[in-house]
Chains A and B, each alone.
Chain A
Amino acid sequence: MVNLTIDGKQIQVEESATILQAAKKAEAKIPTLCYHPVVEPYAACRVCMVEVSLKGKADLVTSCNTKVQEGMDVQTNSERALRARRLNVEMLLARAPAAEPLRQIAKELGIKKTRFAVKDPEEKCILCGLCVRACEQIVGASAISFIERGTERKVSTPFGEPSEACIGCTACAYFCPTGAITCEDKYGRKVIHEEMYLGPTTAIRVPSRQAVPMVPFIDKEACIHFKTGECKICAKVCDREAVNYEMDDTLRDLEVGSIILASGFKPFDARRIPAYGYGRFPNIITAMEFERLVNASGPTGGKVLMANGEEPKAVGIIHCVGSRDENYNAYCSRVCCMYSLKFAHLLGEKTKATIYDFYVDMRCFGKGYEEFYHRLLKEGTKFIRGRVSEINDLALTEKEEGKLIIRVEDTLIGTVRRIPVDMAILAVGLEPSVDHNQLAKKFNISCSQDTFFLERHPKLAPVSSFTDGIFLAGTCQGPKDIPDTVAQAGAAVSEALALADAGKVELEPITAEIDDELCSGCQICVGLCPFTSITYDKDKGISVINDALCKGCGTCVAACPSGASQQKHFRDAQIFAEIEGILLV
């Protein structure tokens, strides 16, 4: 450690520290332009000049790249330092009079106008080269550098042409201290909308503000470090040293006594119903998209806006999209009615729009749900009973011009209606999650007709699967709302704990057995066992049943083509004897 004095303040810093870093610790303010903590200092702008006395000898140095020494006495605002700084700033100001941060520093130093000749009053670049160093050191692309000499000197790509080395990361614009470099896409928009969580974003990010756990991840596809091996800015700026580039996905084997499957659902893909126009017309959005739209931390800050930025004057909410429909899913998704009512309520709160709610049947089955429906009825939402047949933009009258036309049979007044709206929200239903089938295969879970996981008994064992120790929770077992999911998950956990608490499991006495002497190893039974209790013993060339897993369902017994697999107490010989006994009477 090194002891030094900054503006009369005694401090101790590490030997490798620069005067600027030491000054920061001493809370002494030194202006900088070309300095950035993650880029090697270069002392180009020279606004960080300080006066340093060491062993009786005083000198002016740039604080950003001068290392501390034992016994240094640093004066950040001595008359000599300020004079030098003022002169440097004046010269920079003549070069780049439009650079706002530079003008700010000049103002603080009491400079009203530069005494030197101004070449270009619009110029912002101070030729500090921070962008060049960032492109080289951080990005590893070295796509830009200084070209020309003397007064013509500027930052550019080779020959001023689009460079293949440039990866379009916009780091140069990010690092530029004076705003001289800007990055825009071909539509003139700022490229990264970090605050919006829409479109392009940074390579290290938190997936959404509701993410649990609230930790960022690195998108390796997009990360510069994984392209060039450089950058590592996130690691440099992370005080906690939490960023780890070596960390990789790992597969871990865990031995567990029971498993709770809670693999959830995926929303119905509204594109599958072409007549509803999702993806074809603007302002037709799904429930999840609307949810994002009204979120206070969403892209519009919670305002309900259309694609053109205006507030809709009429909004249609369409129920049962992909649910209760023989062409898609015959089952009721159970949650859509209630979230649709919530949407209607939010729309009423946030907009002045006329709200139409197209429902097939209003299913308000939960606690307080019916009351909420009545509240909506009073709030003035227009409820139309009937399945929407089509949403298009074919206007028949002037009033319909520029609107989305919802065609629906109003079954309560018995006529087909055309309702023009500005925005349509599709209340999409629930479907089993993407990897549902693989999971079902892996855990040997049966699926009911609606393709959700089948519980052992609809009334008496609603959280158990057919395999002991595997329990179901949430929408993987069927569409359900949050209260039901929480209840089922609690029950599943209790079941799992009950098993753990007992410390032992009771086995089925009536199981199947395979006779070693008779099994030819044809392996037909192996894939059939719903409890994965049969394995093929390659050495012996026979199939073997694990008694602990066998539930005695008899599938293998029925399938065994050579009769080697027999169900204890229900052997073929016993059953045939019984049949013969009955027939003889």
Chain B
Amino acid sequence: MSKAKPKVAFYWCSSCGGCEESIVDLAEDILKVVAAVDIVFWPVALDFKKKDVEAMPDKSIAVSFINGGIRMSEQEEMAHLLRRKSQLVVAHGACAHLGGIPGLANFWNKDTIFRKVYQTTVSTDNPGKIVPQEKSVVDGYELTLPRFWDTVHPLNDVIDVDYFLPGCAPHRDLIINAVTAILEGKLPPKGSVLAPNKSCCEDCDRNDTKPEKLTIKEIKRPHEVLLDPEKCFLAQGVICMGPATRSGCGERCIEGNMPCRGCMGPTDQVYDQGAKFLSAFASILDTNDEKEIERIVSTIVDPAGTFYRFSLPSSILKRKRMEAVK
């Protein structure tokens, strides 16, 4: 009997599906992965059920790649299940790593989200004001839905995570490197983020175009200005999260002439990406006049969504205070 191939599972929680795409985007390299491993669970692509996983012995899966944040009870349950069955768990993508864009919902809670989504949006027609219930009885049958939480959590809030694959979605090179490292057993210390520990400016071609003293007088949004395809975005007055964001993403946004949005999260030594960037950003505002500062800052549309676009649930803030949510 030939040596059994290591078993691999993929699962998605509160995510958009882009991380699943990132696996498919490996293109022909996925064949190498498939040749090297046995995919035992991948709801998006293969027909396995929860009971199949439950039937596996504990620790029988070599590695589970889980993407998406944890927003509902079902996701937490699956995360716990996969943790029990797996030797390694990798938080795959920005949402599992940091909470991601769905994590911006932490500025509200379940009630306010439901009210908005099921009652007050312009396109909602719901005269009975029906909102999803965990339990409902239809024709004598009791139906259940997973519990919707007030707060989105990154994966490591609910289970022990071994490694983090950052990015929205993670760059193919990072995935290949991670899989190779796992297969070869060349693993970094537990808890590592599987990407370089320097910020994006390190790899950015535009870094040399920074002026001697980087300052910002006016904040512009990408659609308000014809962006110079070679000049540093900050030097053009456009907010670029690059300096506060881990590199390794392949600079795909920058190459597309769009500023960095921060999906790779902070570097190891930074506790709060948004606060750190805000601190850096405030330092380069070219004025000491309080009114002028107020004016410049007021031109930032959606500051929380700008500075914490991917990292709110994993930041020091985590969420808006519950009693403050109306």
Contact = CB atoms under 8 A, between A and B. Distances in A.
Contacts of A234: none
B198 A520 contact: yes
B267 A563 contact: yes
Interface in B220-244: 242-244
Given A518-B197, A527-B214, A564 B269 contact: yes
Interface stretch (A82-90, A99-107, A553-561): A553-561
A562 B271 contact: no
B100 interface: no
Contacts of A561: 199, 243-244, 270, 276-277, 279-280
A555 B282 CA distance: 11
B315 interface: no
A346 interface: no
A521 B271 contact: no
Contacts of B213: 526-527
A526 B214 contact: yes
Contacts of B247: 520
B198 A523 contact: no
A528 B198 CA distance: 21
Contact of A524 (B269, B270, B280): B280
A126 to B, nearest CB: 68
B266 interface: yes
A576 B277 contact: no
B283 interface: yes
A541 interface: yes
B284 interface: yes
Nearest to B247: A520
Contact of B276 (A520, A527, A563): A563
Contacts, number: 88
Interface in B91-146: none
B23 interface: no
A528 B284 CA distance: 7
Interface string B234-277: 00000000111001000000000000000000111111000011
Contact of B202 (A528, A538, A541): A541
B200 A520 contact: yes
A519 interface: yes
A547 interface: no
Interface string B182-207: 00000000000000011111100001
Given A518-B198, A522-B207, A522-B243, A562 B284 contact: no
A563 B273 CA distance: 10
Contact of A555 (B198, B210, B269, B283): B283
A572 interface: yes
A258 B215 CA distance: 29
Interface residues of B, number: 29
Contacts of A519: 198
A523 B210 contact: yes
Interface string A508-534: 000000000111111110111000000
A524 B271 contact: no
B306 to A, nearest CB: 14
Contacts of A555: 283
Interface string B74-86: 0000000000000
A115 to B, nearest CB: 85
A559 B212 contact: no
B5 to A, nearest CB: 37
A538 B212 CA distance: 12
A527 B215 CA distance: 8
A524 B270 CA distance: 16
Nearest to A524: B280
A126 B83 CA distance: 119
A524 B247 CA distance: 17
Given A523-B210, A561-B244, A563-B276, A572 B271 contact: yes
B279 A559 contact: yes
A563 B279 contact: no
B217 to A, nearest CB: 13
A526 B212 contact: yes
A24 B130 CA distance: 122
B204 to A, nearest CB: 8
A523 B214 contact: yes
Given A528-B283, A562-B244, A573-B269, 9 more contacts: A520-B198, A520-B207, A520-B247, A522-B207, A527-B215, A561-B277, A562-B201, A563-B268, A563-B269
26 contacts: A518-B269, A520-B199, A520-B200, A520-B243, A521-B201, A522-B199, A522-B242, A522-B243, A523-B210, A524-B214, A524-B243, A527-B212, A527-B284, A528-B284, A541-B202, A558-B283, A559-B284, A560-B280, A561-B279, A562-B244, A562-B266, A562-B267, A562-B270, A563-B267, A564-B267, A572-B269
Cβ-closest 6 pairs across A and B: A527-B213, A563-B269, A561-B244, A520-B202, A522-B201, A562-B199
Interface of A: 517-524, 526-528, 538, 541, 555, 558-564, 566, 572-573, 576
Interface of B: 197-202, 207-208, 210, 212-215, 242-244, 247, 266-271, 276-277, 279-280, 283-284
